[in-house]
A and B are shown apart, each in its own frame.
Chain A
Amino acid sequence: DTGVSQDPRHKITKRGQNVTFRCDPISEHNRLYWYRQTLGQGPEFLTYFQNEAQLEKSRLLSDRFSAERPKGSFSTLEIQRTEQGDSAMYLCASGRVAGADTQYFGPGTRLTVL
């Protein structure tokens, strides 16, 4: 396993701009999760995919947020019209259905909205 990778690692943007993050899970992991983590807090669940199907979205995820996993492999998280409150670390994790809910995390993308 090469591990979960995320790109970019850091993103600085101006308020109102759109940003897109990519997550490449461990190969053959059919579950993929997105979390948001702010300073001093644990990860907050955003959304979850099983294969290409998005099965759950948190109420934290406003209409400005969208996530896709078109072929059941990599996933993208897009934030439209960014706000300063979107500044956070965005974490991706992957796992297997038979993996007792164990999640393997990527290094995260740190977003700073100016």
Chain B
Amino acid sequence: AQSVTQLGSHVSVSEGALVLLRCNYSSSVPPYLFWYVQYPNQGLQLLLKYTSAATLVKGINGFEAEFKKSETSFHLTKPSAHMSDAAEYFCAVSEGTGGFKTIFGAGTRLFVKA
């Protein structure tokens, strides 16, 4: 069975500071991993995905994530936070290789202080 754990339900950073959102996963098969962002009262938007190619994945809005199999982690980072980054972020895992079921973490709300 697959699962996702996001460490920290809330993260607060100052504008211009490093953003680090943590995600650990569990999967019995090689996983596909995703980060989605959700703004208030909106659906989820894909930030980036890992599908067994390069372990460092670059996404939209300056975000990137690194797949570390030994640590079963897929942490999301951004070098310099912007006020517009304030949102809810979800890490997700799917079975890949044709599997369809995607499991989402509980989410991390990012606050950006001026």
List chain A positions with a Cβ less than 8 A from chain B. Answer: 4, 31, 33, 35, 40-45, 48, 50, 55-56, 91, 93, 97, 100-108, 110
Contact = CB atoms under 8 A, between A and B. Distances in A.
A50 B45 CA distance: 21
A108 B101 contact: no
A42 B104 CA distance: 6
Nearest to A55: B100
A100 B32 contact: yes
Given A100-B32, A100-B49, A100-B51, A105 B103 contact: no
Contact of A31 (B36, B46, B100): B100
Contacts of A105: 36, 43-45
Contact of B102 (A55, A101, A104): A101
Interface string B36-49: 10000111111001
